[in-house]
Structure 1
Amino acid sequence: MKRIKTFPYLLLQVISLFFLIMLLPTACKETENNKAPSIAGYYKIESLYADRQVDLNNDGNVSTDVMEEVSRNRFNRQYNFDSPSAYMEIRPTKHNHTTHQYLYVPFPDPRLTFEYTDSPNGAVTYLRNELNGIGYKYSYDEKNKLIYIDRTDVEEKNEEFWGQLVDMKVIEKDRLELLVSKNYYDFVTASWIRLQLTAIYVRVED
C-alpha cells in the first residue's frame, strides 16, 4: 500500500529547500573570493639590470646586465634562468591549489669562495634562493591592476640576507616588472654591495 506523505513531512521538505536556496548566494560568493587572481601562474625572468656597473663573475669586465654577468660565470654549475625551478610562482596555481595568495621569487644568490688556486681573488657560485627566504603574501586589485605586497609578517633581517622584493607591478598583459634590493659581490671593488635591480618577467605555460 502506497504511503501518503503527511503535512509535517512536506513542511520539512519545504523548509530544507528554503535554506538550500538561501545558502546558494553565499556559496557562489565564497567560490568567487577563492578564485585565483588573473596574474596567478608562472613567470620566467626576461631581463635583469642593476643600478650600476659591476663585475659579478670576476672576468674583469663590468656591466649592468646581471643575467649576463651570472650566466657567464665560469664557476657557475647550478644556476639556470631557463629552468622551471627558476620561474617565479604566483599562487594559487593549478599545481598548488591553496587559497592563499603567495609570491615565490627565486633569485640568483651568490656564494663566494677563495678555494680555487686559479682564482686567488675569489670565485662565486650562484645558487637559487627565494627573496625574503620564504616569499611574500600579496593581494591583487583586478580593476586597477595593482599588486600589493603584504609585509605584515616580514622580518627585516630575512630581506637583508636573502634579498627584498621592493615593488611589483603589471606593465602589460602577462608581463611584470619587479624592483629588487639584494647584496652581490663586486670583484672590481672587492666588496659586497647592495644592488637595486629591475627585473622583467613574462608569463609561461603552466
Structure 2
Amino acid sequence: MRILKLLLIFPILIGCSSENENTNENVSKYTGNYQIISYKSDIEVDLNDDNIASSELIKEIDYYFIEGFPDFEIRPNADTQNEAKLVSLFLPKTNITFQDPGKPQGKVMFSRYGFTSTFNFKNNNFILNDDQYLESDYIDNVHSNRKTIIDSEINIIDETHLKMKLSKEYYDFKTKKWSLLNILIILKKID
C-alpha cells in the first residue's frame, strides 16, 4: 500500500518541479536592467516650466533620463546568489520650491525615487505583490506626501521591451497645481 501511495505522489512532485523550473527559465529571459524609453501621460503637462506642454514626459523632465543608466531591474540575476524574485523601479520625483527669488512661480528639479516589490510570474506577465508607495517630501519646509499607484501587471512586449502603467502626481506649471497623471511606461533592456 505504501508503494502505491509513493507511486501516485511521485508524478505529482515531478510535475510541480518541472512547472516551477519552466517559470524560472521564462523569468531568467527577462532578468536584468532596463531603461525607460517612453514615459507617456494621458494629458499634456508642462513639468519643467518652459511653457511647452507635452504628453511624453521624457521631454518634460530635464536631466533625468540618461541613456544607458538603468531605471528598472528584474532579479534574480544569474550572477547573484540570492534567488528572491524582485523588481526595482526608479521614477522621477518632483523637488520644487516657491521661495527662489529668480523663479517665484516655482523652481523644479527631479531626483530618483526608488520602489521595490516581490513578484510572481504568471501568463507571461510579472505580477507585483506591492503596487504603491508614498513619496515623502518637504516643499518649502512643509511636509508633503505624494502617493504613486502602480498597475500590478508588468507586460512583456517582446524579448527586450516591457510595459507598465502607473498613476503619479506631478506639478504642472500650465495649470499651476499638482495633477494626477496616468502614465504608460515602455522599458528597454540594456543588459
Give the letter for the 1:165 counterpart.
I
Please state whether the residue corresponding to 1:163 is helix, strand or coil: strand
Tell me if the contact between 1:34 and 1:99 (Cα under 8 Å) persists in the aligned partners. Answer: no
Q: 1:62 — aligned with what?
A: 53
Q: 2:124 — aligned with what?
A: 145
- Alpha-carbon distance in structure 2 between the residues aligned to 1:118 and 1:46: 32
Deviation sequence 1:146-189 (CA, Å, 0-9, x none): 221113xx6x6638735222131011221101101111000111
Structure 2: 5+ residue stretches without partners = 1-12, 136-144
- Alpha-carbon distance in structure 2 between the residues aligned to 1:203 and 1:50: 22
User: Residues 34 and 65 of structure 1: is their aligned pair in 2 closer, same or farther, counting only changes over 3 Å?
Assistant: closer
User: Residues 42 and 108 of structure 1: is their aligned pair in 2 closer, same or farther, counting only changes over 3 Å?
Assistant: same
- Alpha-carbon distance in structure 1 between the residues aligned to 2:172 and 2:40: 15
User: Residues 60 and 88 of structure 1: is their aligned pair in 2 closer, same or farther, counting only changes over 3 Å?
Assistant: same
Q: 2:84 — aligned with what?
A: 100
Match of 1:115 among 94, 99, 121: 99
> How many residue pairs get matched?
165
Normalized against structure 2, the TM-score is what? 0.75
RMSD, aligned α-carbons: 2.7
Instruction: State yes or no: 1:135 paired with 2:96.
Output: no
- Alpha-carbon distance in structure 2 between the residues aligned to 1:168 and 1:34: 17
- Alpha-carbon distance in structure 1 between the residues aligned to 2:80 and 2:94: 29
More strand by share: 2
Q: 1:178 — aligned with what?
A: 164
Task: Tell me by how many angstroms 1:114 deviates.
Answer: 1.8
User: Residues 80 and 157 of structure 1: is their aligned pair in 2 closer, same or farther, counting only changes over 3 Å?
Assistant: closer
Task: Tell me by how many angstroms 1:198 deviates.
Answer: 0.5
Match of 1:161 among 121, 135, 146: 146
Tell me if the contact between 2:93 and 2:113 (Cα under 8 Å) persists in the aligned partners. Answer: yes
Larger Rg computed on CA atoms: 1
Q: 2:138 — aligned with what?
A: none
- Identity percentage over the alignment? 24
1:50-89 residue pairs with structure 2 within 5 A?
50-71=41-62, 79-82=64-67, 84=69, 86-89=70-73
Tell me if the contact between 1:179 and 1:199 (Cα under 8 Å) persists in the aligned partners. Answer: yes
Task: Tell me by how many angstroms 1:135 deviates.
Answer: 1.6
- Alpha-carbon distance in structure 1 between the residues aligned to 2:79 and 2:98: 41
User: Residues 129 and 53 of structure 1: is their aligned pair in 2 closer, same or farther, counting only changes over 3 Å?
Assistant: same
User: Residues 46 and 161 of structure 1: is their aligned pair in 2 closer, same or farther, counting only changes over 3 Å?
Assistant: same
